[in-house]
Structure 1
Amino acid sequence: MRLHRLEVAAFGPYRGREVVDFDALGSDGLFLLHGETGAGKTTLLDAVAFALFGVVPGARGEVKQLRCDSAAPEDSTEIALELTVQGQRMKLVRSPEYERPKRRGDGTTKQQARASLTWLDGVPAGYPAEGLTRIDEVGRTVQGLLGMSADQFFQVVLLPQGEFARFLRADTDERERLLEKLFGTKRFADVEAWFRNLRLERRQELDRRRQGAREWVARFAQVAREEAPEEGLPDWVAGIRERAAESVREAEAVEARARSVQEKAETVLAERRTAAERLHRVRAAHRKLAALEEQQPELKRWSAEVEAAHRAATVAGVATQAERCAQELEQARQGEQRQAHELGEHGPADAEVPELRRLAGELREEAGALAGLVAEAEQQRRDERELKRLGEVASEARERTAVLSAKLTGLPEKLAKLRAGLEAANAAEVQLEALRAKETELVAGVRDATGLPAAEAALRRAEDEVRAATEHHLEAREHRLELRALRLDGMAAELAARLVDGAPCPVCGSGDHPVLAQATKGLVDREQEATAEAAERRAEQSRTAAENARHRAETALTALRERLRGRTEAELSTELDQVRVELARASALAKRKAELVAGTKEAEAESASLQEKRLAAENAVTEAETQRRTLAVHIEERGRRLEAARGEHADVSSRRAHLTGVVRALDALAEARLRRVTAEDQLSRRQAELREALERAGFSSVDELRDAVRPEKTVSRLEKKLSDAAKEEAAARSVLAEPELAGISPRDEVDLESAATAAKAARTEAETAVAATRAAASRAKDLDSIAERLEAEERAIRPLEAEFAELDALTDVVNGRGQNARRMSLRSYVLAARLEEVAVAATARLRTMSQGRYSFVHSDAKGARGTKGGLGLDVLDDYSGTIRPAKTLSGGESFLASLSLALGLADVVAAETGGALLDTLFVDEGFGTLDAETLDVVMDILDELRAGGRVVGLVSHVEELRQRIPTRLRVRKARTGSTLEVQM
């Protein structure tokens, strides 16, 4: 990377536009930014950093106040930087976010941040030729081309001596945080986390499998109805299964005997049930025949009633038709009288049907001639209403035109305000993604910081529990060993207690036992010893569980500390509050974007709509007036024709309605008179047919006929009763005629109850035996199934336990625990290797600057009290031959060490990030602590850095450097008037 040209305007202390030509300054490879304290030397470096990354290094970047306070309101704050990276020359232009006075009215408005990248010497592949204008795209492109982040750039290009002096004196954790920023070790941290997460997953999986095996043991014990032993589980399972199989065989034998008894009892019961059923059928048939004999008189009466109803049914229809004809005749006479009354004086009510038809035809023709004029009269009324409506339309259109013109007056100003607000919302939306990501990171950090005391307390509690569990385990083991010794001491008395006269001794084989050993006080038996062993196992399990809990607490605490990296909750909360304030402001603006977009579109649409509506209203006025004049002429001509046609009536419609009413009355009277004549003829025919039908059916009168009539349902019901009685009699006689009922008397008896009782008892006993067999078989099957699952679980767990033990040990090593003697995690190991490279590179320069006296010494030993190591950095003093801490160096020596370390770190980081040609370096302050001789040595080292075309810029207020490098450029600071000199 080589810088060519820097322009700053209204930035920091510089009110106007200042230009620094690095090509001219770097022609000799060395230049100086000189000035008194506060002259703005570091501001030029901040400008370079801001142009590249949009941020400035150190605490100055937290203030975010980059605009010059004394700049004119119309001057824009802007930084432009021309540089070459990897053979590509480009120009970066950035403007920070700042408040500026409003162009209209009082107060201020926010000027949004901007950035652009323009290619000056060809376009690299994959990038747009027109350059980039999005802030995030510019940032990603610059970082990709440089191959380093902003933090790395600030360390390896802008060498701040104060920070490296702190690095020399820092402890392991602080040094580790800085190195992590410079060397991308996140992937190694991810590996550590991956191992921890994998171990947690495998431990949980193993615990689940172990819990599953314990559950299968519990289920087996539950089915076996026995308590599972702590030892000898396979033998216990096999014994239970054998006893269950024997129970099945015994139950099957009992079931076979019970089934034989049941079959015999069921046979006897079936025979007696058959006999009882036959006796029941015989008795039922005799009862049915006796009941039918008693019902004979009633059956004969029903038969006669049904016969008369059938004869009456043939005549009832003719009688009903005659009655209906009489009713129709009466209705026709009444209708004729009504129609004659309605016709009244409008026509001859006593005329015959042909005369009535003729008069109605004449009047109908006259009414038809008036139909066309009726339609014209209706149209005349519609046209008069339309004429009035057109007048109202023209008036309303004139009023609407005036209202729309008034509304259109204020719309341009409203549109301008909406578009300005939308521009601010778009800029806020661009910032949201970065602010939200930072908020998420800080929220997680605050949560970790809040949980740190609890994690530390949890670790202390876990350690206390481990100590207590260890003590308890040792006490239990000691008690078990003591009981074992006591039992061994009393083993002779225990054997003597089981000896029987005449039986051989299990020790010597003799059948004589002249002197038996006697039990002493404190004799321990096998049960007491087993109880002590069980207590020891439980204590050991508790100890193991406590150690696992302590390990988990240590892992959780280490993870928290690694994520926090020394930051306190107050620091994180303060930064989080600041980010949330910015996020709330940006969110509030961004949330209004949709509203502003909609408002802008609505205002634009409203303007177009109002203009369109105003034009439509003006056209409506013209059209309504034209139609109104034309329609008035037609109304006047049609009115004269209608006046002549209405006669003595109110209008043509009234006259036509009168004629139509008379025609309807004449037609109705003719129809009514014709219906009356037809009804009289029909009644005469029906009465003659009725007399003939009564004579054929054997009825003397209509009244006798009506007495014989029965409803169809009644006839059907009586016929069904007669049919059912006949069927029942036939069925009863058919039953008595069956061969299998021959010889059975209704007075016979069958003993069914005793046979049923015996069969029920046998059935109950058989069902009980079957249930017992099924229960035994089900129990044996369940035990076999559970035992198989238990064996499968145990086979599956064994390789998992071996694999987890290996993973657990490896995870501890990767995370700096267990067999890791130096207590170095993988990430710390990588950083230690990088620090060793830095020490080697820095030593080469430090020995030259210190005239061979000092060298850097890297140590990978673990820290005090078992803390992690690998990042130790001391100084070897060749004068005394001792290695001493860097904190013991004097002020000038510390500057030499810091500068050497900064240059060495720059070389290593540049190589680590791909060796992007760092052709421009800046060394910031620290020269005031050197004497003249040492300053000569340092200047020689800086001269060496110019080899290969590299440009080195010095930032200092030391007067001697000003004497060494001639002045070429002076820049006056706006606020104090002090002068910054740029020399080469």
Structure 2
Amino acid sequence: MKPLKLELEAFGPYANREVIDFAAFGGQGLILITGETGAGKTVLFDGLMYALYGQPSQRERDAQMLRCKNAEPGTVTRVSLTFEEKGQVYTVTREPMQTKLKKNKKEFKKTPDPERLELKTETGVLENREAATRIRDLLGLDAAQFSQTVLIAQGAFRDLLTADSQRRQEIFRDLFGTGLYDRIQAELQERARLKREELKACVAENETGRRQLSLYDGVPFDGAACRKVLDAEATEICTSRASLKERETALQGLIMQAEQLKARAQEQKRKALLLERKNKALKEEADCRKRLRELEPQEAAFAKDRNSIGGLEKQAADARKAESLQTDMEALEASIGRKGDEVRKTGAELETDRTRLQALREVPVQLEQTRAVLAELEKQQTRARERAQLVQELEAVRKTLGQALEKFEAANGAWVRANRRFLAGQAGILAASLEAGQPCPVCGSVDHPAPAPLEQDVPDEAQVQRLKQKAHEADVRQQQAAAAVHEREGRLSLLEDVPVRELDQKLRESKAMLQGLERQMEEKTRLERQVPGREQALETLRKEQTALETKLAGLRSSAALLTGTRGAQELEAEIRERRQRCDAFDRELQESRKQLAACESRAAEAQAAMDQIPDAEQVSEAAVKDLETRRQTLSGDIEEDRRRLEERDHVLRNDVQRLKKLEAGFAKQAELEQASADVSMLARTLAGTQSGMQRISLEAWVQMMYLDQVLEAANRRFLQLSRGQYRLVRSEGQKKGAGKTGLDLAVEDRFSGEVRPVQTLSGGESFEASLCLAMGLSDRVAAANPGISIDTLFIDEGFGSLDEESLSKAMQVLSELAQYRCVAVISHVAGLKTAIDRQIQVKKNQGTSHVRLQV
């Protein structure tokens, strides 16, 4: 990957848009990124990292915190990187989630997406997730690998040189990405722990199941012995079940005998009951016959009473009719009284209507007169309104006339003045053409004592004609306005000036009078229709009153003929009393005959039922009771034996199920014991704690392999920088703390043959070792990914501790690196400014930074 151009806007300390044109440096050689501390040198690499991966180069920096605090509110934070990869040019643009200015330039809003990413290729544009995937595919590195290979941060490798074993393993984990192997070790240890817990739970469950067996005796589990005991118990249960079946058969025999005896005893009881029922029926039959003999002599007397009821009913009907006529007469008398009241009321209302109608006879004439007066007043009001309107119009046209006169005078004056200037100008033109001794074309004189001077700014004839036309048009308009004034003054003189307020008052009074007369006219019309109706109603009421009086006289005559000595109520009471006595006698007679027939039927039915019961040997109650006692005793014994047998069978079934489950549990326990042993041994092996084996963890072993590869690449440069004296080696010494051996670093002094700790190196030597380690790591990552081309390398700080000779050697190594790639050194060391003339200068001014290229 070769960066061509980096654009930063409102990013880090860069408030404005800054463009870093890497292509201007030719794509190879040394470049110095220089500037004072805090100016934002490393932020340039952060911008490159953010454009590609959406995160800065250092973990402690949050992508959301990269916006410049001094940027204008409307400026969008944006990073754009144009780079070349395998001959193709790509441009990636990324914007973090931020607050943007709305279109109205007054309010702010947050962007809806967490981040916006765009990748322009030669074939099209990709966005967001597709763009991120395409970038990773192009570069072949994730963010961590890219940061380790493209940026050499000196601090991390100096820590690596001086750290203890535990810290060195953590650093290696970050540098080599071996956290996966540590997680594998932890996962295996967790699985071993879970297997041990699962085995422990299985053992406890099996012990609980063994204790639940009914045949448990506290001895260790023996499946074969348990099955032998359970088989014997099953055989004994089968034998007991057969014996129980025989006793149940005997019980059925006793039950049949008892049922037969009970049936015979029931027949005997039934026959005795039938005999008792027959005797009772015969006694009741004799009583019924005796009662009938007593009732038959009274039947003729009650028949005579029944025949006399008809005469009494006729007398009662006549009495009721007479009472009804009396009620009707009272009702007619009341109706005649009410009808008389209606006649008097209707007569009074009729007289009132006639009087009111006489008082209203002049209303039609008054109504017509009032309408005529109102019409005349309305005409006067219309003329008054027309005159007021003409007054307003006259004022308006007079105003228009005044304006038209002013415009005419102005236009006419302008035309007169222009015409005078035009004529004067013509005289000057003619005077200019006069010659001495030649006749004047106007007067013919050959002497020209005072020729007219030539005027300046003389209007031409067309201008004079336009002004004349405007004056004419203004004259026409003022004449039209004058005619309008004259016309309205003439119309106004023809209209009488009437006081409007007095006229309005008369109109209101006339309208009120008209409304009152109209109401009186409506009342008169209503009375004229109402009086004939009342007269007819009065005549009808008088006829109805006469008819009622005639009917009352007829009713009084009929009532006199029906009047007797006994009242209807007395007769009806006697009729009811006689009818009740007769009905009671009839019911008693019928009931006695019905009871006699029923007694005869019951006696016959009892005898017939007795005839159907065969004669049999008498059964004693003691025999039945003894047999029932034997049946109950045997039944109780059988039920108790059946209950015990079911309990034994239930226990046996449970034991069989528990035994099957227990056998499966012990098989699972054996499997878990083997699995737990296997996983535990594998976990101890990977953790380096297995006895009898090399005590080194899987992660440490992988880190050792990575470290050997890095040291091999680093020593090629370290030997050169140290002039063949020093070589970094991995210490093989055994140290306290299993699993941590093989990761210690040492330095081999090839001049003395001594191997000593890296802490004994001087400051400059430590820097050289750190630089070589960083380059070695970059080489290892590149070698592990042969399809990746690392055309640019950033080296951040660390040169301040070098003397001139060490700095010269470091520059020599960097120059060799820069033969086929671009190496950007991030430093503020003054000596590098002299040694590297191609520079990216970062300057800080009033809280914001700017970039300037020195190619």
TM-score, reference length from structure 1: 0.52
| Matched AA of 1:876 | E
Deviations 1:128-150 (A, max 9, x none): 3xxx4x6x776666555434344
Question: 1:852 is matched with which residue?
Answer: 724
Paired amino acid for 1:227: D
Counterpart check, 1:891 vs 2:763: yes
| Equivalent residue for 1:284, pick from 261, 264, 273 | 273
Q: Which amino acid aligns with 2:217?
A: E
Q: Distance in 1 between matches of 2:337 and 2:758?
A: 135
CA contact (8 A) 1:88 1:121 kept: yes
SS of match in other structure, 1:20? strand
Q: 2:223 pairs with 229, 234, 239, which one? A: 234
Instruction: Check conservation: 2:710, 2:773, Cα contact below 8 A.
Output: yes
Match among 923, 926, 937 for residue 809 of structure 2: 937
Distance of 1:184 and 1:95 partners within structure 2? 27
Amino acid at match of 1:879: F
Q: Which residue of 2 aligns with 1:84?
A: 84
Which residue, out of 762, 767, 779, partners 1:907? Answer: 779
Write the distance in 2 (CA, Å) between the matches of 1:916 and 1:883. 36
5+ residue gaps in structure 1?
Answer: 349-638, 674-699
Q: 1:3 to 1:789 in 2, by over 3 A?
A: closer
Of 742, 765, 768, which aligns to 2:637?
A: 765
Q: Does 2:643 match 1:737?
A: no
Which AA in structure 2 matches 1:758?
R
Following superposition, the deviation at residue 909 of structure 1 comes to 2.7
Separation (CA, whole Å) in 2 of partners of 1:714 and 1:201: 103
Change (3 A) 1:754 1:18: closer
Q: Distance in 2 between matches of 1:709 and 1:43?
A: 130
Structure 1 segment 660-699 matched on structure 2, within 5 A: none
Distance in 1 of aligned mates of 2:669 and 2:121: 66
Partner of 1:31: 31
CA distance 1:294–1:714, shift in 2 (3 Å)? closer
Alpha-carbon distance in 2 for matches of 1:58, 1:16: 23
| Residue 474 of structure 1: aligned partner | none
> Among residues 951, 957, 965, which one is paired with 2:822 in the alignment?
951
Q: Summarize the Cα distance change of 1:283–1:945 in structure 2 as closer, same or farther, 3 Å threshold.
A: same
Q: Deviations for 1:72-122, whole angstroms, at most 9, x for unmatched residues?
A: 6776665443323453420425478589999999xx979879965555551
Structure 2 distance, partners of 1:722, 1:213, is: 90
* Alpha-carbon distance between aligned partners in 1 of 2:816 and 2:597, rounded to the nearest angstrom: 137
Cα distance 1:848–1:781, how it changes in 2: closer, same or farther (>3 A)?
Answer: same
Q: Is the 8 A contact 1:809 1:818 kept in 2?
A: yes
Indicate the SS of the match to 2:3.
Answer: strand
Q: Is the 8 A contact 1:18 1:971 kept in 2?
A: no
What is the match of residue 357 of structure 1? none
Preserved CA contact (<8 Å) 2:15 2:848: no
Alignment partner of 1:752: what SS? Answer: helix
Cα distance in 2 for partners of 1:757, 1:848 equals 121
Aligned to 2:210, which of 206, 209, 217?
217
Alpha-carbon distance in structure 2 between the residues aligned to 1:85 and 1:731: 125
Letter in 2 for 1:813: T
**Does the aligned pair in 2 maintain the 1:49–1:57 contact within 8 Å?**
yes
Secondary structure, aligned partner of 1:953: strand
Return the alpha-carbon distance in structure 2 between the equivalents of residues 720 and 878 of structure 1.
150
Is this contact kept in 1: 2:285–2:599, CA < 8 A? no
**C-alpha distance 169-263 of structure 1, shift in aligned 2 (>3 A):** same
- Aligned 8 A contact 2:35 2:841 in 1: no
> Deviation digits for residues 727-769 of structure 1, max 9, x if unmatched?
6545532332134335769xx7654323322332233333333
> Which letter maps to 1:738?
Q
Partner of 2:156: 163
- 8 Å contact from structure 1 (residues 32, 965) kept in 2: yes
Matched residue type, 2:609: V
Question: In structure 1, what is the equivalent of residue 5 of structure 2?
Answer: 5
Fraction of identical pairs, as percent: 26
Contact 1:9 1:16 (C-alpha < 8 Å) held by counterparts: yes
2:590 and 2:62 map into 1 onto residues whose CA distance is 109
Cα–Cα, structure 1 residues 874 and 735, in superposed 2: closer, same or farther, change >3 Å? farther
Matched, 1:787 2:659: yes
Distance 1:874 1:81, change over 3 A: same
CA deviation profile, 1:149-185 (whole Å, cap 9, x unmatched): 4443333222111121112223444344444445555
Query: How many angstroms apart in 2 are the aligned matches of 1:843 and 1:119?
Result: 40
Distance in 2 (alpha carbons) for counterparts of 1:913 and 1:983: 34
Q: Secondary structure at the match of 2:728?
A: strand
Distance in 2, Cα, partners of 1:163 & 1:890: 18
State the shift of 1:904 in Å: 1.4
The Cα shift of 1:23 comes to 1.1
- TM superposition shift of 1:974: 0.7
Change in CA separation of 1:706 and 1:872 when aligned onto 2, cut-off 3 Å: farther
Corresponding position: 1:874 with 2:746: yes
Whether the aligned pair in 2 keeps the contact of 1:13 and 1:975 (CA below 8 Å) is no
Three-state SS of the structure 1 residue aligned to 2:56 is coil
Q: Secondary structure at the match of 1:952?
A: strand
Q: Secondary structure at the match of 1:840?
A: helix
Change (3 A) 1:28 1:259: closer
Counterpart-to-counterpart distance in 2, 1:973 and 1:733: 140
Q: Secondary structure at the match of 1:276?
A: helix
Name the SS of the counterpart of 2:824 in structure 1: strand
Supply the distance in 1 between the matched residues of 2:829 and 2:853 (Cα, whole angstroms).
13
Give the Cα–Cα distance (whole angstroms) in 1 for the partners of residues 732 and 277 of structure 2. Answer: 118
On the 8 A contact 2:196/2:676 being kept in 1, the answer is yes
- Cα displacement string for residues 831-861 of structure 1 (whole angstroms, at most 9, x for unaligned residues): 4433332222222222222223333334688
Aligned to 1:753: 625
Q: 1:533 corresponds to which residue?
A: none
Determine helix, strand or coil for the equivalent of 1:159.
Answer: strand
Alignment partners' CA distance in 1, 2:186 and 2:596: 100
Q: Does 1:925 align with 2:797?
A: yes
Residues 1:103 and 1:265: Cα distance change in structure 2 (over 3 Å): closer
CA separation of 1:936/1:337 partners in 2, compared to 1, >3 Å: closer, same or farther? farther
Aligned to 1:22: 22
For the structure 1 residues 757 and 141, does the alpha-carbon distance in structure 2 shift closer, same or farther, using more than 3 Å as the test?
A: same
Which one-letter code corresponds to 1:237 in the other structure? C
1:683-729 Cα distance to aligned partner (Å, 9 max, x none):
xxxxxxxxxxxxxxxxx97765555669xx99999999889866654
CA distance in structure 1 between the aligned counterparts of 2:672 and 2:108, rounded to whole angstroms: 66
* Compared CA separation, residues 40 and 274, structure 1 to 2 (3 A): closer
Are residues 1:273 and 2:259 paired? no
Counterpart of 1:148 in 2: which secondary structure? coil
Number of residue pairs the alignment of both structures matches:
629
1:901–1:276 Cα change, 3 Å: same
The equivalent residue for 2:237 is: 248
* Distance in 2 between residues matched to 1:335 and 1:187, nearest whole Å: 125
Quickly say closer, same or farther: Cα 1:786–1:96, change in 2 above 3 A: closer
Q: Judging changes above 3 Å, is the alpha-carbon distance between structure 1 residues 247 and 9 closer, same or farther for their aligned structure 2 residues?
A: closer
Q: Distance in 2 between matches of 1:913 and 1:719?
A: 130
Call closer, same or farther: CA 1:192–1:809 in 2, change over 3 Å: same
Secondary structure class of the residue paired with 2:759: helix
* 1:942 Cα deviation after fit: 1.7
**If the length of structure 2 is used for normalisation, what is the TM-score?**
0.59
Task: Map 1:546-625 to 2 at 5 A.
Answer: none
SS in 2 for 1:220: coil
